[in-house]
Structure 1
Amino acid sequence: MRDIPVFLVTGFLEGGKTTFVKEIFNDPEFVEGENITLIVCESGIEEYEQDFLNKNNIDIVYINKKEGLTYSFLNQYNEEHKPSKVVLEYNGMWQYDVIENLHMPKGWEIAQVITPIDASTFESYMNNMKSLLIEQFKDSDLIIFNRCKDDTNKLKFRNSVKAINARANMIFELENGEIDDRPLELPFDINSKVIEFKDYDFGAWYLDSLESPAKYEGKSIKMKGIASINPNYPKNIFAFGRNAMTCCEDDISFLGILCQTNKPFKFKDKEWIEVEGVLHKKFIDYEQRDIPFLVVTDYRSIDKIEDELVYF
């Protein structure tokens, strides 16, 4: 039996869940040749028209009480209708542990957790219903802030989410439905005496330093990561960085930069350390480009950080 992907859509009522689900159903690559089951756990202003469901070969099931979302119900439905894909639009007022403790029918696997959030109410919910809102996105793979305005503080929203769920990807959608792809400000102060950032922002710094190594020339920095020792490196040279997950657990790679010390280092390969040093750019002939290079002024051994992976 092949796996049946389950796309879990979480979020509060009127947060844009139904609109998002309709958008993915309008994607021919998502619906073509599929027998899709849509499980709806709440009803909002936006509804699913029967013509729309028929056109896309979608069976809809309404579950009005959390007690009705059970293995026995889902398994019976699975045996009778044999869906090839499932979209579950979850009720944001139900505790998330209903999902966490739910035993899925054989073959059903949660492929992605998506959380649409109304940007116009996000700060209010974070101030007044924080724990309930966090339940909606703490395990999300993708968070869509919809109804954004030109002055929406995207960096603040992003940092609020990353502090809870470092691996989440985020999309900001304007009120007219277009994606706001304007770059965010850097989540750290590049002009501070010593550049420091949250552990989950290593990836943001790493990508920016690779893209624009010249702007970090002579900058002091302090950061946590893994030391990688290679016997083929010149004396007092090691690599420093973090392991990154770009799409799945099978796609983990090391993101690192070369570091130089003025005396032999005492740490072991793959040891977690915190380094301080000065960044410089170094031209690599075979790549015909500059790369960042760290001259280490100090380091210390540390415990592995809680969330050791970098996510994109």
Structure 2
Amino acid sequence: MEQEHVPIFLITGFLEGGKTTFINEIFKDPEFAEGEKITLIVCENGIEECENNILKENNVTVVHINSKEELTDSFLKDCNKEHKPTKVIIEYNGMWEYDIVANVEFPEGWEIAQVITPIDASTFEGYMSNMKSLLIEQFNDSDLIIFNRCNEKTDKLKFRNSVKAVNTKANMLFELENGEIDDNPLELPFDINGDVIEFEDYDFGVWYIDATESPEKYEGKSIKLKGIVATNPKYPKNIFAFGRNAMTCCEDDIAFLGILCQTEKPINFKGKEWIEIEAVIHKKFVAQEEREIPFLHVKNYKVVDEIEDELIYF
């Protein structure tokens, strides 16, 4: 009989970074816990422990590991055989090498669904200054990073850029000291008022969303950026689409985010080439969609090498 799919939620981060608090919160979410048989593997003992009443109410079995040598293939197979979980949470020890859990062989059907890293915003800069390599190892493979204990002095844009420089795919949440999500928008990670708007390759998605939602902000502004050419025989002369492939959840969700371009320079692209363009942004009303969209008037372009991480993430 084939083993049913068992998602693993790997919670990484340093001691006192908020891992246990986060786990307590997700157990309170009925969509996550209701009807499940959850095994929680705890690899370190923090100051705060999971609340016993929450564990009991949600049919959670807690298994403790006292040393990294105990986290083995056979240990996990025994957990699967004894507890038969439908979900697994691993509260990982922040001082252990990430390779230990990355290289372990999980039981049949077990698969990492999400890597989540809570980080104490009040200590983040200190760790980045003094223990940078260890901290980066904690969030290098994270799908979601939660900066908790934020306040009005938290430099969210700086934190966000520090993470994106290492892990372009990570999504980030900022949580206030009272536990509420800070949903105030971040500053744009580029200067919209510069002579030419330029940004890091991983910020294409930020610019694309802002430009398509508020094209009036960019009217007449110059921009320089890299992306993929997409041509279509139905397009008028010297018109092409330009954009990037984006992944919102998994590989099945990859889609091309494109903007139409017009150039006076003859085009003869060979397939989906990577180019860098210098262009002026204009807004254009599309009657079919009853809205304005950004349109790029290309002043110059050149073929470039594909960038290291060609996908953008949301």
Band of TM-score, shorter chain: over 0.9
Query: What SS is found at the alignment partner of 1:259?
Result: strand
Aligned to 2:257: 255
Distance in 1 between residues matched to 2:32 and 2:222, nearest whole Å = 48
Equivalent residue for 1:229, pick from 228, 231, 235? 231
Distance, in Å, in 1 between the alignment partners of 2:83 and 2:115 is 23
Letter in 2 for 1:275: I
The Cα of 1:269 is off from its aligned counterpart by 2.5
Name the CA distance, whole Å, in 2 between partners of 1:241 and 1:50. Answer: 50
SS at match of 1:250: helix
Residues 124-178 of structure 1: CA deviation (Å, up to 9, x unaligned): 0001100000000000000000000012100000000011111100000000001
SS in 1 for 2:252: coil
CA distance in 2, matches of 1:209, 1:31: 39
Name the counterpart of 2:71: 69
Q: Distance in 2 between matches of 1:155 and 1:167?
A: 16
2:281 to 267, 279, 282: 279
Q: For 1:60 and 1:146, how far apart are their aligned partners in 2?
A: 25
Aligned partner of 1:179 in structure 2 is 181
Aligned 8 A contact 2:145 2:170 in 1: yes
> 1:242-274: per-residue Cα shift (whole Å, max 9, x none)?
000011111010001000011321322310000
261-270 or 201-210: which moved more?
261-270
Alignment match, 2:301: 299
Q: Name the structure 2 match of 1:86.
A: 88
Q: TM-score when scaled to structure 2?
A: 0.98
CA contact (8 A) 2:24 2:51 kept: no
Contact persistence 2:119–2:146 (CA under 8 A): yes
Partner of 2:149: helix, strand, or coil?
A: strand
Deviation (angstroms), 1:50: 2.9
For 2:42, give the aligned amino acid.
Answer: V
The alignment-based identity, stated in percent, is: 72
| Corresponding pairs, count | 312
* CA distances 1:64-90 after superposition (whole Å, capped 9, x unpaired): 100000010110121121111000000
Contact kept? 2:28, 2:54, Cα under 8 Å: no
Distance 1:121 1:95 in 2: 21
Deviates more, 1:262-271 or 1:88-97: 262-271
> TM-score, normalising length from structure 1?
0.99
Of 235, 241, 244, 1:242 maps to: 244
Distance in 1 of aligned mates of 2:65 and 2:126: 29
Given candidates 30, 33, 37, the residue that maps to 1:31 is 33
Q: What does 1:55-204 correspond to in 2, within 5 Å?
A: 55-204=57-206
Deviation (angstroms), 1:48: 2.1
Q: CA contact under 8 A between 1:229 and 1:268: conserved in structure 2?
A: no
| RMSD between aligned residues | 0.8
Letter in 2 for 1:42: E
* One-letter code aligned to 2:56: N
Q: Name the aligned partner's letter for residue 259 of structure 2.
A: I
Cα deviation, residue 49, structure 1: 3.5
Gap runs ≥5 in structure 2:
none
